[in-house]
Amino acid sequence: MNDRDDPAARVARLFDELADDYDQSGVAFFAPIAEGLVDALALVPGERVVDIGCGRGAVTFPAARAVGTTGAVTAVDIAPAMVELTRRRAEQSGCVQVTTALGTADELGLHDASADVLASSLVLFFAPDPVATLRAWLRLLVPGGRFGLATFGTPDPVWERVDALFRPYLPPQLLDPRTSGADGPFASDEGMVQLALACGASSARTVRHHVPVHFPDAAAWRAFSQSTGQRAFWRFVPEDRRQRLYEEAAEVLEDARTDGGDLVLHQSLRYTLGTV
């Protein structure tokens, strides 16, 4: 099966290629989102946490600090380069409570009922079948275990206008509304609650969080966008149209210029929290 037929393989390959640059553009985005999720989970020393779709460890390392060396964090990702970079970071920072694993939670054979807390930031909407995926994730929790899922909330209108510049070039599989939060369970607080309850949660609620994202200029936005999943969008823009698209984006981004001089886009988040 090639990547076109297998969405999970496409996601794994995209993030594998991105891993070196991912979250390294200097724009604070993934870290404040992940830290908000870790705070909302109110971790305590000694707890065993599974971080699914760990990327470069935005959740893993704050979680490791919160559970301490008497606890444990298992950081899982389907992209080998993400796993390797997170493993190295754990080694270099002496985080002995962090272990890494390559694969999806269900195929890894992580034991059912082996974690106190499951955390996953900006991952579930990539799953071709979110119900089956979340069911498998929640089985990892002990009875009474807690989970926290970060997904995107209401989009910033300026950001939407920038993203819309890519749309004429994108193939149908990248127009999937689930990742934009425009449709399905990812489109509303209640949709996320119902998804969690349908997947084995005994209680669930969604709280909102907000992260202002500062870009010193449009070039910083471009570097950031090429270091995230949006790099896939750039690839579909013919090379001789990319500079024009960037200039159009820079024009739109002027509407986000603040008195301080930065371009500030607002990212709203849903944290869906609950127990099994």
For binding to ligand SAM (CB under 6 A), which residues are involved?
Answer: 11-12, 15, 23, 30, 34, 52-55, 58-59, 76-79, 82, 104, 121-123, 126-127, 133, 229
| Least distance to ligand SAM, CB of residue 216, Å | 21
- Cα 225-265-205 angle, rounded to 5 deg: 100
Closer to ligand SAM by Cβ: residue 59 or 192: 59
Work out how close the CB of 77 gets to ligand SAM at its nearest, in angstroms, rounded to a whole number. 5
Please name the amino acid found at residue 33: I
Q: Least distance in Å: CB of 230 to ligand SAM?
A: 10
Would you say 270 and 176 are in contact if contact means Cβ atoms under 8 Å apart? no
Cβ-based nearer residue to ligand SAM, 18 or 253: 18
- Cβ neighbour number for residue 222 with a 10 Å cutoff: 20
C-beta of 268: minimal distance to ligand SAM in Å?
Answer: 16
Which of 174/250 has CB closer to ligand SAM?
174
Identity of the residue, 101 or 142, whose beta carbon is nearer to ligand SAM in the bound complex: 101
Separation between Cα atoms, residue 118 and residue 115, nearest integer Å? 7
150/252 with CB nearer ligand SAM: 150
The beta strand positions in the chain, using DSSP E, are 48-52, 72-77, 98-102, 115-121, 141-152, 203-215, 263-275
Residue type for position 36: G
Which positions ≥6 away from 39 have C-beta within 8 Å? none
Residue 110 falls in which region: left (phi positive, over 0), alpha (psi -120 to 50) or beta = beta
Comparison of 130 and 252: residue with beta carbon closer to ligand SAM: 130
What stretch of H or E contains 38? helix 30-41
- Closest separation in Å from C-beta 105 to ligand SAM: 6
Q: How buried is 20 (Cβ within 10 angstroms: 0-12 exposed, 13-18 middle, 19+ buried)?
A: exposed
**Shortest reach from residue 229's CB to ligand SAM, in Å:** 6
Between 149 and 204, whose beta carbon lies closer to ligand SAM?
A: 149
Euclidean distance between CA atoms 143 and 8, whole angstroms: 29
> In the bound complex, what is the minimum distance in angstroms from residue 110's beta carbon to ligand SAM?
11
